[in-house]
C-alpha cells in the first residue's frame, strides 16, 4: 500500500504550517486546496484517506465518491457543512474541535453583556461626537443580582456561568440534554425554556444549529421574554429569527442585542441592525485569539494522525 494521503479542502487561517508539519512528520502526504463547491471537493478529495474541511460543502454526493476515507474533520465546532447522515451510512467517522476557543467565547459573552449593560458603544460614540454627558445612557442598572439565562448548557455555557458568578448573578439554563450534575457544580438551575424567557434579564444563546434549534428564538419566544431583556448570540445565526428580534427591539421587549453571528455573514450597512444604537455587532470573532488558532490547528492535525494510526478519536461525532 502507498502512503496515506490527507486532503485539506479549504482554509482561512493565516498559516497552516502546524497542520502540514505534523502530518508530514507522521509520514503522510498532504494536499491543500481552496474548494468552494461540491464539484471542486469531489475532484480534490476522491482518493483521500483523511479529509480536513473548513467551509467547503461536504455533501452526500461528495461523500459518495470517497473511496477509502477514514476521517472527515472540520476545524471548528459546528459541522453544518458536512452531511452527517451520509457519513454514517458510509461508516466514515466525522470529528470536530469543540474546545479550542471555549474560554475566548465565554470571555466575549461577558464582554458583550457588560457592554450592553453599561451602554458602552453609545457612550463611546457620543464622546467622539463631542457629547460629554453620561445622562445619554440613562437608565443603567447594576448587573449584580440580575438573572442570566443560558439556552444550551455545553462547555462554553458552563464557562459563562462560572465567570458570571463574579457579578453575583443568578443563572438559569435550558438544555434538555444537559447533565444535572454539571449544572449543580456551577450553581445553575436547569429549567424549562418558558421560565428562562420569562425570568431572565440577559439571555445568552449557546446552541448548535439543527432542526430543533432553527429559529428557536422566534416571534413567540420574544413575546414571552421579560420586558427589557438583553439578547446575546455567539452560537449560530439561524437559531434566532432576525426579523422577530428587530420587532422586539423596536417595541422595547428586548432592550439591547449583542450579536457575534448572523444568519448571513457579512451584513449590509442597510440592515436594520446597523441603524440601531442598542445593537452591538462583532464579526464572528468571539472564538478568536492567537492561542485559540494554534490550539485549533494542533487539534486538527492530532486527530488526523490518530485516525490514520487506528487510534481512538478524541472528538468523534
Q: What is the pLDDT of residue 201?
A: 98
Q: Which of 70, 195, 284, 298 is an active site residue? A: 284
Using CB atoms within 10 Å of the CB of residue 61, give its burial: 0 to 12 exposed, 13 to 18 middle, 19+ buried: middle
pLDDT digits (tens, 9 = 90+) for 15-67: 999 999 999 999 999 999 999 999 999 999 999 999 999 999 999 999 999 99
Q: Which of 236, 241, 242, 303 is an active site residue? A: 236
Residue segments in the chain with a per-residue pLDDT below the cut of 70: 1-2
State whether 164 and 294 are in the same domain. no
Evaluate whether residue 315 is within a structural domain.
no
State whether 130 and 269 are in the same domain. yes
State whether 154 and 20 are in the same domain. no
pTM: 0.92
Is residue 284 flagged as an active site residue? yes
Q: What is the pLDDT of residue 200?
A: 98
* Number of domains forming the structure of the chain: 2
Cell 421574554 sits on residue: 225
CATH of the domain at 151: 3.40.50.720
Q: What is the pLDDT of residue 80?
A: 87
State whether 243 and 217 are in the same domain. yes
User: Are 207 and 153 contacting, i.e. CB atoms less than 8 angstroms apart?
Assistant: no
State whether 58 and 117 are in the same domain. no
Q: Which of 85, 185, 265, 311 is an active site residue? A: 265
| Residues spanned by the domain of 83 | 5-100+290-309
Q: What is the pLDDT of residue 78?
A: 87
Classify each residue of 239-278 as buried b or exposed e, where b means 16 or more C-beta atoms within 10 Å of its C-beta.
Answer: bbbbebbbbbbeeebbbbbbbbbbeeeebeeebebeeeeb
Q: What is the pLDDT of residue 91?
A: 97
Evaluate whether residue 316 is within a structural domain.
no
State whether 108 and 219 are in the same domain. yes
Q: What is the pLDDT of residue 295?
A: 97
Is residue 54 flagged as an active site residue? no
State whether 261 and 145 are in the same domain. yes
Evaluate whether residue 314 is within a structural domain.
no
Amino acid at each position: 500500500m502507498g502512503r496515506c494521503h490527507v486532503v485539506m479542502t479549504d482554509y482561512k487561517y493565516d498559516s497552516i504550517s502546524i497542520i502540514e508539519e505534523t502530518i508530514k512528520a507522521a509520514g503522510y502526504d498532504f494536499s491543500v486546496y481552496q474548494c468552494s463547491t461540491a464539484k471542486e471537493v469531489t475532484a480534490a478529495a476522491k482518493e483521500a484517506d483523511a479529509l480536513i474541511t473548513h467551509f467547503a460543502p461536504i455533501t452526500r454526493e461528495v461523500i459518495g465518491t470517497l473511496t477509502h476515507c477514514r476521517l472527515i474533520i472540520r476545524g471548528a465546532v459546528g459541522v453544518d457543512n458536512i452531511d452527517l447522515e451520509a457519513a454514517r451510512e458510509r461508516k466514515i467517522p466525522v470529528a470536530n474541535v469543540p474546545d479550542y476557543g471555549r474560554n475566548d467565547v465565554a470571555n466575549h459573552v461577558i464582554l458583550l453583556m457588560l457592554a450592553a449593560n453599561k451602554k458602552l458603544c453609545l457612550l463611546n460614540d457620543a464622546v467622539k461626537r463631542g457629547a460629554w454627558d453620561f445622562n445619554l445612557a440613562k437608565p443603567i442598572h447594576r448587573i449584580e443580582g440580575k438573572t442570566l439565562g443560558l439556552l444550551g448548557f455545553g462547555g462554553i455555557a458552563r464557562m459563562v456561568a462560572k465567570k458570571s458568578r463574579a457579578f453575583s448573578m443568578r443563572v438559569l439554563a435550558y438544555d434538555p440534554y444537559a447533565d444535572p450534575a454539571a449544572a449543580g457544580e456551577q450553581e445553575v438551575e436547569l429549567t424549562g425554556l418558558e421560565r428562562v424567557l420569562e425570568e431572565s434579564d440577559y439571555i445568552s444563546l449557546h446552541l448548535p444549529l439543527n432542526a430543533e434549534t432553527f429559529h428557536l428564538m422566534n416571534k413567540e419566544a420574544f413575546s414571552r421574554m421579560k420586558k427589557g431583556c438583553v439578547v446575546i448570540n455567539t452560537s449560530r445565526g439561524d437559531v434566532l429569527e432576525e426579523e422577530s428580534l428587530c420587532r422586539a427591539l423596536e417595541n422595547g421587549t428586548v432592550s439591547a442585542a449583542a450579536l457575534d453571528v448572523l444568519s448571513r455573514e457579512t451584513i449590509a450597512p442597510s440592515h436594520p441592525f446597523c441603524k440601531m444604537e442598542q445593537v452591538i455587532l462583532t464579526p464572528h470573532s468571539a472564538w478568536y485569539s492567537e492561542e485559540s488558532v494554534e490550539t485549533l490547528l494542533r487539534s486538527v492535525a492530532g486527530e488526523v494522525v490518530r485516525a490514520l494510526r487506528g487510534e481512538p478519536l478524541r472528538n468523534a461525532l
